Chains A and B, each alone.
Chain A
Amino acid sequence: MTLNAKLVLRRGALDLDVEFEVGAGETLALVGPNGAGKSTCLHAIAGLVPLSAGQVRLAGDVFDEPSRGVRVPAEARGAGVVFQEHRLFPHLTALDNTAYGLRCRGAARSAARASARAWLERFGLGAVAEALPRALSGGQAQRVALARALAAGPRLLLLDEPLAAVDATARLELRRELRAHMASFAGPRILVAHDALDAFAFADRIAVLEHGRIVQSGTVAEICSRPRSRYVADLVGTNLLRGVVEGGVLRLPGGGALVVAGSASGDVVATVHPRAIALFRQRPDGSPRNVWSAPITFVEAAGDRMRVQLGGAVPLVAEVTPAAVAELGLARGGDVWVAIKATEIALDPI
């Protein structure tokens, strides 16, 4: 069940024209500056905003095709949407909010409530089932919103910056939970990501929107290694690596391993600032716990600094001065010694 979307529309200052595809069980993250049209993409797919041209198709069902006059109303699309500001119905309890979609699909009140209660319990919200939304914390409200969207039995899942309205302390835990719940959803998933960390934590693929156009799309690794616009470069200005920490060692999917500090364990996103990476022609001898030899795959200028892309099992970008590039002869390519202190690797559990 693949979602194919070609979205063409104008809305105020926004001139949107994008095309993408999301497979079953795949998560696409839409990232970009404010006003780029990320949320509008989700609303158009959900049927809340009309297209002027293009097509939205889920598996064999055409949802939208203005040229043929096809427009399936939002209520018949089966798109589970989690809005930025949760949009829980203020006059209904968490339980009745969660049961709402089931009631719409004809479930009897008692059956809908029983099922909704099971959903809330799965989200650890059994205790607040009878609470009204205004009595819930930001994190709880967003969990109820996700439970409400999933309980309706959607065919695709659309999340609009689900972590934006949640305070920083709750965000960490909610991110991990959301990720687990999203992983258990079998249909296509699209996430508008608040920051790079969210995008990298959740997504299989990333599409970068600027001024209503996709300026770059690809896997996380592809976007990281070759940022194609200033916004993307800033977005991925730091090295983000997904991996698993075990006993103070971060193991990467490509086989690489880094010694890390701190007590984190399990799935993480590791952040390494390019300036924290030192390069040497000879094997250095010193305090950094991580020293290895890696091939230089690319060198480019970024303002007054040079970005040196390193290949091998630990793909990274290092930022050094042009003088260093000249002195070490980095532009020639070849292998270089890389050193990172364990304490320079920040870990965010996901």
Chain B
Amino acid sequence: MNPTRRGPADAALLLLVSAVVALFALPLVGLALRAPWGELAARLQSETVREALWLSAWCATAATACSLVLGLPVAVWLAAGAGPVRSAVRVLVTLPMVLPPVVGGIALLVAFGRNGIVGAWLLQWFGIALPFTSAGVVLAATWVAMPFFVLTAEAGLRSFDRRFADAASTLGAGRWRTFRTVTLPLVLPSLRAGLVVAWARALGEFGATITFAGNLAGHTRTMPLAVYVALESEPEAAIVLSLLLVALSAALLFALRDRWWPAR
């Protein structure tokens, strides 16, 4: 094909791409157009926004930390071999990625709710109730975010060159030292990317959170919930919060650009 001549197929492709670009760009443009730019600073400093932002930030961070602590061993185990058991566990761990989050919320309620199969026991023996608490928000966010970390970390660990671990063992390094001093540093880029994606997913979590943890201002009303609430009463506040979430997400993508769009 002559690259300098554009056929009708090229024109059609270009048209289609433009339409899709519009589909993604128009909502953002709309947000920017409707935003109350004049009172943006004041709105961002309002009690509601600061509360929701702070809650979202620390809950997402806590969920990411939980994903790291709980997910890394799972990723290591998944990457260490193959077989039906591992496949089954991988499906189970991946499920929250494809389930509607509201279903996840209901499932969490059934398991960890006050009358749930584990929740009732937690309440009776330890006096711990997760629903309608910030801990519940963290649990819901971890549940939806951890799969992203586990899958990314597993892929990174699988691509790790075992020969470096072999070299370390001939130098006298046991399994734990090899993991700590050779494997971890070499898969760090994957882990970092997994953590960022998990954090972004946790930050945006809505369905599971509102179902399991409810919508209590200051305790479980995270940014997405605050957007939802604001939409009913003061749409302009919803737009400000939405813009904030867009900015945060864009910043995350920017931070990850080297991984997903490596310079050629």
Please say whether chains A and B are actual partners in one complex: yes
**Which A positions have Cβ atoms within 8 angstroms of B?**
43, 46-48, 73-81, 83, 85, 87, 89-91, 100-101, 104-105, 148-149, 152
Asked if B185 lies at the interface with its beta carbon under 8 angstroms from chain A, I say yes
Q: Cβ of B170: which chain A residues have Cβ within 8 Å of it?
A: 46-48, 74-75, 77, 79-81, 149
Q: Which of B156-172 contact A (CB under 8 A)?
A: 163-164, 166-172
Complex partner residue of B167 from A73, A76, A89, A105, CB under 8 angstroms? A89
- Chain B binding site: helix, strand, loop or mixed by DSSP? helix
Q: Contacts A89-B164, A89-B182 known; A48 to B171 CB distance under 8 Å?
A: no
Complex partner residue of A152 from B166, B171, B182, CB under 8 angstroms? B171
Q: Cβ of B135: which chain A residues have Cβ within 8 Å of it?
A: none
Do residues B169 and A48 form an inter-chain contact, with CB atoms below 8 A?
yes
Instruction: Pull 22 A–B residue pairs with CB atoms less than 8 Å apart, ordered by A.
Output: A47-B170, A48-B169, A74-B166, A74-B169, A75-B169, A75-B173, A76-B172, A77-B170, A83-B163, A83-B167, A87-B163, A89-B164, A90-B186, A91-B186, A100-B171, A100-B173, A100-B181, A101-B171, A104-B173, A148-B171, A149-B171, A152-B171
Q: Cβ of A85: which chain B residues have Cβ within 8 Å of it?
A: 163
- In the A-B complex, the 5 residue pairs with the closest CB atoms: A104-B172, A101-B171, A74-B169, A87-B167, A81-B170
**Which B positions have Cβ atoms within 8 angstroms of A?**
163-164, 166-174, 177, 181-182, 185-186
Q: Cβ of A152: which chain B residues have Cβ within 8 Å of it?
A: 171-172
Q: Cβ of A43: which chain B residues have Cβ within 8 Å of it?
A: 166
Q: Give Cα A83–Cα B169 distance, bound, in whole angstroms.
A: 13
Q: Contacts A87-B163, A90-B186 known; A73 to B169 CB distance under 8 Å?
A: yes
Q: Cβ of A100: which chain B residues have Cβ within 8 Å of it?
A: 168, 171, 173, 181
Do residues A75 and B174 form an inter-chain contact, with CB atoms below 8 A?
yes
Q: Give Cα A80–Cα B182 distance, bound, in whole angstroms.
A: 18
Q: Cβ of B166: which chain A residues have Cβ within 8 Å of it?
A: 43, 48, 74, 87
Q: Cβ of A148: which chain B residues have Cβ within 8 Å of it?
A: 171
- Shortest CB–CB separation between residue B171 and chain A, in angstroms? 4
- Shortest CB–CB separation between residue A142 and chain B, in angstroms? 13
Do residues B167 and A104 form an inter-chain contact, with CB atoms below 8 A?
no
Q: Cβ of B171: which chain A residues have Cβ within 8 Å of it?
A: 75, 100-101, 104, 148-149, 152
Do residues B172 and A75 form an inter-chain contact, with CB atoms below 8 A?
yes
Q: Cβ of B182: which chain A residues have Cβ within 8 Å of it?
A: 89
5 additional contacts, CB 8 Å, given A75-B173, A100-B171?
Answer: A75-B172, A78-B172, A89-B164, A91-B186, A149-B170
Give the residue name and chain of the A residue nearest to B186 (CB).
A91
Q: Give Cα A161–Cα B53 distance, bound, in whole angstroms.
A: 60
Q: Give Cα A80–Cα B186 distance, bound, in whole angstroms.
A: 23
Give the residue name and chain of the B residue nearest to A76 (CB).
B172
Give the residue name and chain of the A residue nearest to B171 (CB).
A101
- Shortest CB–CB separation between residue A125 and chain B, in angstroms? 18
Q: Cβ of A47: which chain B residues have Cβ within 8 Å of it?
A: 169-170
Q: Cβ of A77: which chain B residues have Cβ within 8 Å of it?
A: 170
Q: Give Cα A73–Cα B165 distance, bound, in whole angstroms.
A: 13
Q: Give Cα A64–Cα B132 distance, bound, in whole angstroms.
A: 59
Give the residue name and chain of the A residue nearest to B172 (CB).
A104
- Shortest CB–CB separation between residue B182 and chain A, in angstroms? 6
- Shortest CB–CB separation between residue B61 and chain A, in angstroms? 27
- Shortest CB–CB separation between residue A167 and chain B, in angstroms? 22
- Shortest CB–CB separation between residue B81 and chain A, in angstroms? 16
- Shortest CB–CB separation between residue B176 and chain A, in angstroms? 11
